[in-house]
Each structure stands twice: as structure tokens, then as C-alpha cells.
Amino acid sequence: MDNNSTGQQIPTGVAASTGLAIDQKQETGLWHFIKYTAHLLARDKAGTIGLIMFVIVVLSAILAPWISPHDPLKQNLRHAKKPPAWYEKGTMEYPLGTDNLGRDILSRIIYGSRVSLTVGFFGVLIASSLGIVIGLFSGYKGGKTDNIIMGGVNMILALPYLVFVVFIAAILGSSLLNVILIFGFTDIPIFVRITRGEVIKMRASGFVESAVSIGATGNRIIFSHLLPNLIGPIVTIATFEMSAMIFYEAGLGFLGLSVPPSVPSWGNMLAAGRKYLVIYPWIATFPGLAIVFTGLGMNLLGDWLRDVLDPRMRRVKK
Amino acid sequence: MVQNAEVSGNINSNGIEHKKTELSRSNHNLVTVKNLKKYFPFTKGSLFNRKKGQIKAVDDLSFNIRKGETLGVVGESGCGKSTTGRAILHLEKPTAGEIVIDGVDVTRLTREELRCMRPQIQMIFQDSYASLNPRHAIGHIISEPMMIHTDMKQSAMKERVMELLELVGLNPNHYGRFPHEFSGGQRQRINIARALSLNPKFVVCDEPISALDVSIQAQVINLFQDLQKELGLTYLFIAHDLSMVQHISDRVAVMYLGKIMELTTRERLFNTPLHPYTQALMSAIPIPDPVKERQRQRILLNEEVPSPANPPNGCVFNTRCPVAEEICTRSAPEYREIETGHFVVCHKVDAL
Amino acid sequence: MAKILEVNDLITRFYTFDGVVHALSGVSFDLDEGETLGIVGESGSGKSVTMMSLLHLLPTPPARIEGGKALFYSNRNEQNNNTDPVDLLQLDKSGIRKIRGGKIGFIFQDALSALNPVMTIGRQISETLIEHLGMTVDEAKKRSIELLEYVGIPEAEKRFSAYPHQFSGGMRQRTMIAVAIACNPEIIIADEPTTALDVTVQAQIIELVQRLKKEMKMSVIWITHDLGVVAGMADRVLVMYAGSAVEIAPVDDLFYNPGHPYTIKLLGALPKIGEEGQHRLESIDGTPPDLLSPPAHCQFAWRCPHAAEKCWQAVPAAREISPGHHAACFFDFAARRP
């Protein structure tokens, strides 16, 4: 595809629909896409805030070694259980205080975002790629194939999710890879359902039928017509699922079933801080806030994406 | 696979090489439809009390379309006119019947053979927006049939796209734009351009102008007629708007509950309609002429249309027919040729 | 004949993200007692917006009514015998609610979505009666059944407790009409009431409204895009284009002696029934203008075959070209003096 593919989401408004503005030069390319996105963000404050929150988390994960004030693993019992800077006994050296072993909480939160995002990103990557393939197959084939696949999917969805995940995690043992695989595979049904629903909707809509009528092959219909139109809904759901995975990872960590306790992760930090919740509340509070911050940011972003990527929004308004 | 040989291979980029004269309305039948049936199964009731049934959307149609002519199909919603068009093009697999298009029985083709034949038999859909992929530029949309069926070079395809855009009255430089940037009438032109890209023989137009405004309808109808003259196209023109069908068609079929009630030339149909349903339909079309409107006598039909899942016994029209008699509820009338080329399905046609 | 509704210079705009849509730029017309006024126009011409503005049915924002008057000369004012007109545009919420569904009935195009799918047909009619006329539930039921019979629904008593999805399209539209006439209105506004219906059903609905109009002494405003329908039922016709009224005339004048080039072209674009041989339709080139930035000249100039220099300089005002026949064009096409 040419570089128009980035500029295609631009509703040029009533002007274009009337055909009178048709001789204006159409702007295309990356720069226009950025301008257009900025323009859409300006329209939606919550979306902007969500995006900023998400970017902060991503940047802190990427830049962790450079921005964290301390080594997250370095214990210093002399400075253990230091309160945050604004407390009387707090110092600017440990802005959010230290935990029971004297490790800097801010640094651990910054490093913890790496675990959360890794789990979220790769979990969604596995779930969505397999989910899309199965969903496309199921929706495109229809009939018996579809019934069997959807039967299986609904069975998995009927299981109590958290119990199921905890059970598998307990069997497989705790490691980052296992957590990613567990979330990746257990989340497939969500993507299967979304993909299948969209495919069935698109098959009923005209352009798939008109592709059939010009003699398009099955592959062409799937790759050239169905898949590109799936991007919008999938990206939206992926955002929500990623935030859900971050929550669940923290939950597993809290139960001691996620990454090993030595690795700084938000769930582990919560678990460690639980014992001191009354006396040294900051140990558990800040990782908790980090989880809420990330989750909120991603959900706001997801809501905004849903609006922006919905093809109906691109339709010229009458 | 004669079609295949024609389609693949490098199509001359200056395209359209139809002979303009001899093709118009010859006696040669391009499309022959025999006993076409399309039934949709349906289930009713709850999981434990399920009844199965069939909706006879299209029930035993036979007609033919001559090369270069336009056959109009009119009828009210639910009469099966769209299903007919889709069944002829095999977008819905017919339940039974024979469809011969240019000597090839399309019902006997394998999937792959049918796919290769598709560019010859094209369809224009009612919803001009839904039938264009919103994520593809119109240049891509129009050249898609060429990508599928030919090994034309990118540059040749672009040239052909620009040629087609010009042919349907759009600015050739707009090939990089996306469907949402066009108005309804323009989008229908894009659909037409794509349908024409590999020189089809037969085009089914399924309510192509219903969603358009009056002034735009005229533009598109004129385009259809010009293209027919220029390219020798054969149309099956499906619509509920009788006056438009009358305008564009050479012959018209009137459908009711999955069956053809009357089929004849447009002059005969509009001057001497024989079937009571056609007469009622004709009398109901609003005429943009106040004096004529005031003088008209309308035949008002009972408005309860029977469900196609449960059509009446005998003649399907008997429940609404103003002249129905006892025999009409007992036996279904036959499809009879009353005069040369004038087919009617009615027991009472001789009395009328 | 006495006027019952007089709309002057109605201006409605939509404040959307893309800019201000000039949906109506100064629409004026009047409606006489007992007459049928047809309003024709293409989509986006503002024919529906006009009526929705009058009855406060537009969502605000984005819509805003920015000017004009809509005087309603109600003469069935039971409480106080004043005959002063009411300006519909100035009414508050409760004021317009009394008129809407009471003195002015409204019929929508899409009866299925206008009726509540989970409420029985009978209750939907009764509610109007209870709200506007203060009837008791039993009275309302009795009257509802009468109304259903009156609009030609067979077995009305049985149908009273049916749900909208059990009705055919024509019957649903009849139900809508029953709701609209429930309070004995003075004006019925029908917005494309037959567009979604088949022609045979359309003929019946038109017949029904004609009969009701006569029997109940109502005035009717019939909005449609179909010039054929208008020819059959309207006394006068208002033609709208791009948010303005371009021509208003008695029905015969409009069809046989149109005064605005748009009307002339529109009539030419229609196929003629029963014509012999094939000929071309007259088409209007181009598309309607963008209402986001309407030009400061004649809206139709883009597409007008006769556009002269002055058409590109100013917006023509409506002028009377023969008694009761107004056209917004610099030239007089009816008299063939362009």
C-alpha cells in the first residue's frame, strides 16, 4: 500500500461529500496523520490524558536504567522503611520511601513497569494473533466449523477466569515466560469472539460480497478485505485486554504466582507491603497507585481508540 | 473455459473494444434462466419445539435476456427480486434450476471456474458505500478485478483505472482518494467503473439508484444508458420504482411472492397490463402531473402481504386480488404466453 | 382562507465540529386552514429540519434556531377565547409539549423506530390521550380502539394489545397516524411517511390521510422527495434546495409553469410514464453545495444552466411571479423572460 494508508482515516467532512471541494489538494502522508491525530486528541480530553499516562508508563519502562535514582535490587537495611520525602523523616534521596529491606520504592516501581508491560504486551500479542486466526477461520467458514470452534470458546469463557489462571500458574510454576503464556492462551477466546463477530458483520456488508462478485479468491478476501478492517476493533480490545492483564499479573504476583519474588514487579511489591500496611503504608500504596494509574490510562486510551477507529466515525457526517 | 482464456491474458490497456452497432438488441439470448428456485430454510419456535420450513424466495422462474437489452424486474419488498439477481450471479447458490449465460451453464461450474467467470457477469449493489471497502483507495478498488484476473502491470492498470474513471464521469486524478470522500452518486459511479473494468457481458443492477436523490438518479440512469449503447451491455435492472424501470428497460418482469406475474415489453406492460397485480401496481405509481393524478382511478389492494414462508394456496396473489374467484384459491395458474412475448400468470386473464 | 401557520425567515444552524452547518437560511412559508402543503427537496435540502425546528425536535446542541418566527393561529383554543397567534419558536418546553402531539400531530418516516417496541400499540395511543386530554385509562382504551378502527386497522380490539413488530409496515404507519390524530389536531405534519413503504401501501396511506384531512378539518404538511406524490395530493407546493425555499406555488402552477430553474430541472429529471421509445432524462449536473460554507450568491448557480453574472453576486430574494407563486430567482422563467 502507498502512504495514503495513513491518511485514510481523515473525514474531510461535508465538503468532500458534496464534491465541490474535490479539487482541493488532498494532503497525505505521515505528517498529516500526526496532525490529524493531534486534532482528534484535542477533541477528547480524557483520551489525551489516557495517552499521556500510557506514554509515561512506557517511557519509564524503556528508560528505567537511566531515570531510576537507585538500583532496585540494592538492599540497604540502614535505610529500611524510610517514609516518602514529604514525611518528617523522609529524604529526597528516596522520594517515595524505601521498603522493609531498604530498597528504593520509586526505582522498584519504575522497573516494575517493565514486568507489567512485558506481560501485557506479549500476552496480548499471543492472544490476538491466535485469536484473529481462529476467529477469521470460524467466521469465514461458518456452519459446523464455526459451531464447534465457538462451542470450545464459550466453554473456556464459562470457566471462572482467575481461579483457572491461578490453577495453571500453580502447576507451571512462577516465571515471566509462564505468566505470559498463561495470559496469552487464556485470553484467546476474547479475540476469537471479537474477530468472528466482525467477520460475520463484514460478510453481510456489501464490500465482501462485491469482492466475491469480482471473483476474488478466499485469501484475497481474508487478507485484503477482512483483515485491514479488523485492525480498529482489535486494537481497541487489545488495549483493554492489556490493562486487564496488567491487573491480573499484579494479582498473581500478590499471590506469589508470578515472577520470582526477587524481581521488582508491582504485584510482588504489593505482596511484600501487605504485612506493613498499617505501620508503613507507603510500601504497598505506591505500587498500588502505579497499577491504578496504568490501568486508568489504558482504559481511557482504549475508549478514545474505540471512537477514533470505529469506521462509522470515518463516515462523512450528513 | 472459454471465458477464462478471454479474461486472463493482458487486456489491451485502451480497453473497450466493443462493436457499437450490431450488438444492440439482437435476437440472440445472452442469459437463459429455467425453473430457477431459491429456498431459504428457516427454523421457528424454541429449542425443544422446533419447526422447520422453507421460504420460497424465488419460486420457479423462467425467462431469458437478449444480448444488449435491459430486462427490468419490479416488485414490492420481499417479492424475491433481489434474490433473483443474486441467484443468477451465484452470489446465492440456487436451490434448483438452470442458468445459462453466454452458452455456459453457471450452475454446473466448479467454484474455481465460476470465480474465473465472475468478471464477465457483474453486479451493481444498492448500497454504494457498503459495497466499497472503506480502507482501499478507489484506484485500488477499481483495479482489483485486474489484479485478480490479469497479469497487467501496475502502470497499465493505473492507465485503465483513469480511463474508466473518465468513462463514468469522475475526475481521473482522484484514483488516490477513499470512498468516504465521495458523494452517494459518485460512489455508485465508482462501483460501475469497477464492474466495467474487465468488459463484462452481463450486469445485474440491484436497486442501484434507490438510495440516491432524484437529480442524481437521472445522472446515474443516463450513465447506465450511455454505457449500454457504447459497450453493448446487457442489464438485469432490479428496482421497486416502476417509473424508472419503465424508463430504462426494454422488457419488464413483475414479481410477486417469488414468482413472475407478468413479463412483456415495457410498452405493452404500461399500456395494456393484463395481470390484476400489474394493474394495481401501475395505478399506484404517483405521476408527477397534477391533472392526470386527479383523473386517476386507483385500484387499492388489501395491504396484508402474505408471508413468503406461508404463501397462499393456488394463485399466490389470490388473497389481495380484486377479481379472484374460487378457482384461484384452488389451483395455481400457469405461466402462459398470451401473445408473442407477453407472459401472464393468471386464471382470469382471458376474462379481463 | 385564514392562515393557520406562518413561518417567517426561519434560520437554523448546526454547530458541529467541522464548522457551522447552515441548515436553514431564511425559510418562509404559510399554511392555510384545510390545505395540504407539500414540501419537496433532496436530502440535505432542509425539508425535515424545517419541521423539526418548528416543533423543537432538534437536539440542541448542535442545532440552534437563530432567527425567524413561526406564528401558529390556533382557533380551537378551548380555555381562553384568544385568537392571538403563538410563536412556536418562543415556547418553552412545557408549552411546545402541549402543542406537539396535541394541536400539531407528527408522522415520522420510520414507524418502526418511532413506536416503542416493548409497549403495546394500544398503550402507545392511550398514553397520548391520557397525557393531552386527561382521559382515564378506560376512556383512553375505548377511544384508542375507535381511533384504530378509524385509521382502517381491522380487528382493532384484538390489535389493541399487539406489539409493533407484529404489524406490517403499512399498519404501523396507520398506527402512527392514529397517534397523530388522537387529540384532534389542527395540523398534521408528515415527514416522508410513505418513503419506506411499497407503492400499493403508499397509495392507501395517502388515501387515508386525504380522508382524515377532510373529515377532521385539518391542515396537512407533507414532506417528501417524490414529486409524484405531491402532484396527487398537495394544494400548494414548497420546493426547497440547500436550506432555502426556492419556490412556492399552487400545485398546477408548479408543475405546468415552474418558475425556478431548479424546479424545472427537477421535473425534467423524472421519467415519464408511458412514454414511447427511449430518450434521455434531463439531469442536473453537479451536486448540492456544501452547507458548511454556503456561498454568498444563489445556491443553485453552480448547477444552473442559466446562471448569469448577477447570480454569482447576490442571493436572490423570493418574488411573486404570479398570484400566490413565489420563486427565488432573478429571472422569471414562468413567463419565459429569462
- CA-nearest residue to A42 within chain C is C17
Domain residue limits, chain B:
25-43+51-136+201-216+230-344
Kindly report which listed range (A74-78, A309-313, B119-123, C330-334) carries the lowest average pLDDT score.
Answer: A309-313
Domain residue limits, chain C:
1-103+188-202+218-262+280-306+327-338
* pLDDT at A316 exceeding the cut of 70: no
Q: Which of B181, B186, B197 to mutate to test the interface with A (most CBs of A within 10 A)?
A: B181
CA distance C252 to chain A (A): 32
Beta bridge partners of residue C191, listed in sequence order: C223
Between B186, B215, B225, which is nearest C269 by CB? B215
Give yes or no for B216 touching C (CB within 8 A).
yes
Q: Do C269 and B214 touch (CB under 8 A)?
A: yes
Give yes or no for C264 touching B (CB within 8 A).
no
Residue C259 and residue C248: Cα distance in Å, rounded?
Answer: 9
Kindly report which listed range (A103-107, A172-176, B118-122, B140-144) carries the lowest average pLDDT score.
Answer: A172-176
pLDDT at B3: 41
Q: Do B122 and A214 touch (CB under 8 A)?
A: yes
* pLDDT at A28 exceeding the cut of 90: no
Q: Interior CA angle at A287 toward A285 and A288, to 5°?
A: 60
Q: Do B194 and A205 touch (CB under 8 A)?
A: no
Q: Which residue from C110, C240, C226 is spatially nearest to C175, judged by alpha carbons?
A: C110
Q: Do A18 and C289 touch (CB under 8 A)?
A: yes
The DSSP call for residue C311 is G
Number of domain units in chain A: 1
pLDDT at C274: 66
What is the pairing mode between strands B202-206 and B121-124? Answer: parallel
Q: Which residue from C1, C38, C106, C5 is spatially nearest to C247, judged by alpha carbons?
A: C38
pLDDT at B203: 93
CA distance B195 to chain A (A): 8
**Which ipTM did the prediction report?**
0.82
Q: Which residue from A266, A187, A183 is spatially nearest to A234, judged by alpha carbons?
A: A187
Residue A104 and residue A109: Cα distance in Å, rounded?
Answer: 9
A vs C, Cβ pairs < 8 A, gives 28
Residue A276 and residue A291: Cα distance in Å, rounded?
Answer: 19
Kindly report which listed range (B155-159, C97-101, C218-222) carries the lowest average pLDDT score.
Answer: C97-101
Q: Do A207 and B130 touch (CB under 8 A)?
A: yes
CA distance C323 to chain A (A): 35
pLDDT tier for residue C102 given thresholds of 50, 70 and 90: confident
In chain A, pLDDT over 70 holds for what percent of residues?
87
B45-64, pLDDT tens digit by residue? 666 666 677 888 888 899 99
What is the pairing mode between strands B234-239 and B70-74? Answer: parallel
Average pLDDT over residues A130-148: 89
Kindly report which listed range (A61-65, A161-165, B221-225, C237-241) carries the lowest average pLDDT score.
Answer: A161-165
Backbone phi, then psi, for B255, in 5-degree steps?
Answer: -110, 150
Residue A135 and residue A123: Cα distance in Å, rounded?
Answer: 17
- CA-nearest residue to A15 within chain C is C290
- Which chain A residues are Cβ-neighbours of B119 within 8 angstroms? 214-215
Cβ A14 vs Cβ C293: under 8 Å: no
- CA-nearest residue to C286 within chain A is A19
Given CATH 3.40.50.300, say whether it is the number of domain B25-43+51-136+201-216+230-344. yes
Q: Which three cell numbers stand for residue A243?
A: 490493562
The answer to whether residue A9 sits within a structural domain is no
We report the CATH number of the domain holding residue A41 as 1.10.3720.10
* pLDDT at C41 exceeding the cut of 60: yes
- Which chain C residues are Cβ-neighbours of B244 within 8 angstroms? 271
Q: Which domain holds residue A285?
A: 28-314
Average pLDDT over residues C222-232: 89
* Chain centre distance of CA B284: 22
Q: Do C44 and A318 touch (CB under 8 A)?
A: yes
Q: Interior CA angle at B298 toward B297 and B303, to 5°?
A: 165
| Residue C286 burial class via C-beta count within 10 angstroms: exposed 0-12, middle 13-18, buried 19 and up | middle
Q: Interior CA angle at A192 toward A188 and A194, to 5°?
A: 120
State the distance between the two ends of chain C, measured CA to CA, in whole angstroms. Answer: 33
Q: Which residue from B93, B118, B164, B141 is spatially nearest to B3, judged by alpha carbons?
A: B118
Give the H or E element holding residue B123. Answer: strand B121-124
Residue A287 and residue C56: Cα distance in Å, rounded?
Answer: 53
pTM of the model: 0.80
In chain A, pLDDT over 90 holds for what percent of residues?
21
Which H, E and C letters describe chain A, residue by residue? CCCHHHHCCCCCCHHHHHCCHHHCCCCCCHHHHHHHHHHHHHHCHHHHHHHHHHHHHHHHHHCHHHHCCCCCCCCCHHHCCCCCCCCCCCCCCCCCCECCCCCEHHHHHHHHHHHHHHHHHHHHHHHHHHHHHHHHHHHHHCHHHHHHHHHHHHHHHHCCHHHHHHHHHHHHCCCHHHHHHHHHHHCHHHHHHHHHHHHHHHHHCHHHHHHHHCCCCHHHHHHHHHHHHHHHHHHHHHHHHHHHHHHHHHHHHHCCCCCCCCCCCHHHHHHHHHCCCCCCCHHHHHHHHHHHHHHHHHHHHHHHHHHHHCHHHHCCCC
CA distance A5 to chain B (A): 8
Q: Do C255 and B288 touch (CB under 8 A)?
A: yes
- Which chain C residues are Cβ-neighbours of B217 within 8 angstroms? 269
Q: Which residue from B87, B74, B86 is spatially nearest to B37, judged by alpha carbons?
A: B87
Q: Which three cell numbers stand for residue A37?
A: 491525530
Q: Do C18 and A43 touch (CB under 8 A)?
A: no
Q: What is the largest CA-CA distance in chain A?
A: 76
Residue with cell 413503504: C197
CA distance A19 to chain C (A): 7
Q: Which residue from B187, B235, B228, B261 is spatially nearest to B72, judged by alpha carbons?
A: B235
CA distance A41 to chain B (A): 21
pLDDT at C86: 82
Contacts of B60 (CB under 8 A, 6+ apart): B35, B36, B37, B97, B259
B172-207, pLDDT tens digit by residue? 888 888 888 888 888 899 999 999 888 899 999 998
Contacts of B265 (CB under 8 A, 6+ apart): B250, B251, B252, B341, B342
B328-345, pLDDT tens digit by residue? 888 888 888 888 889 999
Give yes or no for B158 touching A (CB within 8 A).
no
Give yes or no for A19 touching C (CB within 8 A).
yes
The answer to whether residue A40 sits within a structural domain is yes
pLDDT at B322: 87
Q: Which CATH number applies to C1-103+188-202+218-262+280-306+327-338?
A: 3.40.50.300
Q: Do A205 and B116 touch (CB under 8 A)?
A: no
Q: What is the mean pLDDT of chain B?
A: 83
B220-260, pLDDT tens digit by residue? 888 889 889 888 899 999 998 888 888 889 999 999 988 99
Residue C310 and residue A48: Cα distance in Å, rounded?
Answer: 49
* pLDDT at B10 exceeding the cut of 50: no
Q: Do B290 and C255 touch (CB under 8 A)?
A: yes
* pLDDT at C143 exceeding the cut of 50: yes
* pLDDT at B2 exceeding the cut of 60: no
pLDDT at A140: 87
pLDDT at B238: 93
The answer to whether residue A161 sits within a structural domain is yes
Between C16, C17, C288, which is nearest A18 by CB? C288
Q: Do B180 and A22 touch (CB under 8 A)?
A: no
